[in-house]
Structure 1
Amino acid sequence: FSFPDCAKLAPPVLPFKNVSFRYPTADPALGMLLQNLEFGVDCDSRIALVGPNGAGKSTILKLMTGDVDATEGEVGRHHHLSIGRYHQHSVDVLDPRATPLDFFAGTYYDMRKPTDEWRSYLGKFGISGRLQTNPISALSDGQKSRLVFAMICLGNPNMLLLDEPTNHLDHDCIDSLADAINRYQGGLMLVSHDFRLIDKVAKEIWVCEDKRVAVWKDDI
């Protein structure tokens, strides 16, 4: 599959200006989860964000999308920014009782695509034949992930925020994802423990640890 062509936005696209963050329910004695972050992500960025579990990597993506607000500082967003986000709970938006064909035709009713067009579109993501007419609940985790990527592509994003996208994908699908990312014209922030994917798609590696984010200067 391929991510759609997108408008390349002039920077700054996603600047972090002295951003600190703490979850409201967290113990104040622990201080900030993230502190004094100062960086920018643009449409030319191809960044892999790595670091220990619990360091705040997924929280940085939530700050980018606006799912959470900075405790201090400011996260800027270009007015024409469209974000395509994948995370471990993305499949929860799928209706397990619906078939893929019915789900897409209903969810994207305003697009008024005939059934044959939806069949062709889903086929590009490896969902073909009976997979299109069986309930989504009968699909494997990897096949459900492919449906999520099909939804992301319909949003014509100019920035991809991918949080552990390979967890349920086989090697062939990971290779297809890497190829699609490399053809993609927009920006990328990838959170992953899959160094094979990182090696294929990332131009920079950033390390999130000890409340900060720093560029990794050495080899993987």
Structure 2
Amino acid sequence: PVIMVQNVSFRYSSDTFGIDLDTRVALVGPNGAGKSTLLKLLMGEVTSSHRRNDKKAVACQDWQLELDLSPLEYMMKCFPEIKEKEEMRKIIGRYGLTGKQQKLVRWPEVSGVFRLACMLFLDEPTNHLDIETIDALAEAINEFEGGMMLVSHDFRLIQQVAQEIWVCEKQTITKWNGDILAYKEHLKSKIDKQTHDI
């Protein structure tokens, strides 16, 4: 694995797991279970009290779109070596993005934000996105050639991009033996049982 975590402890039980460059994992579980904290541990933003986290050849790229810029201005800023706006318009046009179709959700894919990264760590990336934009994000993620770990409650996105489901709850991480729709049914049954028991 390019990232190996052994006996990590941060309000988790001691868990050991590895993430490879072809890993496509959705980390699911209840709010407050530690999903985002796990991502931060993996990216080195927080440290565990007892951790051995070996990172091998992982390039994490932190990016944020500047929504006050037009798509053309954004691309000009990302690629300062291209001086002429007309030249940039031609480059953008090669990706089939013209006029009103130039949606900022496509810029990570087009501008190469993903090109230098080996792993994507995505924490609730669909907050405040409409269905069309979620689908465009899923398409960009699926075109990315590295590994991906996603924290999300968005079953639509998870179904499109995740090959594995890991459940974070009760201070542990468990691989779910099924897809996200089976997990959704499991949650529904669990809620129905809790409601029935009341």
TM-score by length of 1: 0.67
In the alignment, is residue 70 of structure 1 matched against residue 48 of structure 2?
yes
In the alignment, is residue 201 of structure 1 matched against residue 161 of structure 2?
yes
Q: In the superposition, relative to structure 1, how do residues 173 and 130 fare at CA in structure 2: closer, same or farther (>3 Å)?
A: closer
| Counterpart pick for 1:102 among 52, 73, 79 | 73
| Range with bigger deviation, 57-66 or 98-107 | 98-107
How many angstroms apart in 2 are the aligned matches of 1:61 and 1:16? 12
How many angstroms apart in 1 are the aligned matches of 2:27 and 2:92? 30
How many angstroms apart in 2 are the aligned matches of 1:67 and 1:196? 28
SS of 1:173 mapped into structure 2 = helix
Gaps in structure 1 of 5+ consecutive residues: 1-11, 22-31, 133-142
Report the alpha carbon displacement of residue 130 of structure 1 after superposing the two structures with TM: 7.5
| Structure 2 residue aligned with 1:115 | 85
In the alignment, is residue 15 of structure 1 matched against residue 4 of structure 2?
yes
Report sequence identity in percent: 43
Q: In structure 1, give the amino acid aligned to 2:133.
A: C
TM-score by length of 2: 0.73
| Counterpart pick for 2:120 among 155, 160, 163 | 160
Q: In the superposition, relative to structure 1, how do residues 123 and 167 fare at CA in structure 2: closer, same or farther (>3 Å)?
A: farther
SS of 2:13 mapped into structure 1 = strand
Q: Is the 8 A contact 2:105 2:137 kept in 1?
A: no
Q: Is the 8 A contact 2:6 2:17 kept in 1?
A: yes
Q: In structure 2, give the amino acid aligned to 1:186.
A: G
Task: Please tell me whether Structure 1 or Structure 2 has the larger radius of gyration of its CA atoms.
Answer: 2
SS of 1:161 mapped into structure 2 = strand
Q: Is the 8 A contact 1:85 1:160 kept in 2?
A: no
Gaps in structure 2 of 5+ consecutive residues: 184-198
Report the alpha carbon displacement of residue 169 of structure 1 after superposing the two structures with TM: 2.4
- Provide, for residues 9-43 of structure 1, a one-character-per-residue CA deviation record: whole Å limited to 9, x for no partner: xxx2111111112xxxxxxxxxx3x3323111111
Q: In structure 2, give the amino acid aligned to 1:18.
A: N
- When the two chains are superposed, the root-mean-square deviation of aligned CA atoms in Å is 3.1
Q: In the superposition, relative to structure 1, how do residues 71 and 112 fare at CA in structure 2: closer, same or farther (>3 Å)?
A: farther
Q: Is the 8 A contact 1:47 1:190 kept in 2?
A: yes
Report the alpha carbon displacement of residue 213 of structure 1 after superposing the two structures with TM: 0.8
| Range with bigger deviation, 181-190 or 41-50 | 181-190
- Provide, for residues 48-89 of structure 1, a one-character-per-residue CA deviation record: whole Å limited to 9, x for no partner: 1001111111111111221112221121111x3222457xxx
